[in-house]
Amino acid sequence: MAAQRQLGDLVSVGPAMLRDFELLGVRSVAQLARRSPHALYEALSLAKGKAQDPCVLDTFSAAVAQARNPRLPARQCQWWYWSRRRKAADRASARRARQ
* 98: Cβ contacts below 8 Å, ≥ 6 apart: none
Which residues, other chains included, contact 58 with Cβ-Cβ below 8 Å and sequence gap of 6+? 79, 80, 82, 83, 86
Bigger pLDDT: 83 or 99?
83
Q: What is the pLDDT of residue 1?
A: 42
Phi/psi of residue 69, each to 5°? -135, 100
**Is the per-residue pLDDT at 2 higher than 60?**
no
pLDDT, tens digit, 9 for 90 and up, residues 43-87: 999 999 999 999 999 999 999 999 999 999 999 999 999 999 999
- The pLDDT of 31-50, averaged and rounded, is 98
Residue count of the chain: 99
Give the pLDDT mean for 21-37.
98
Largest CA distance in the chain: 55
Coil vs helix vs strand at 25: coil
pLDDT exceeds 70 at position 27: yes
Q: 95 pLDDT band (50/70/90 cuts)?
A: confident
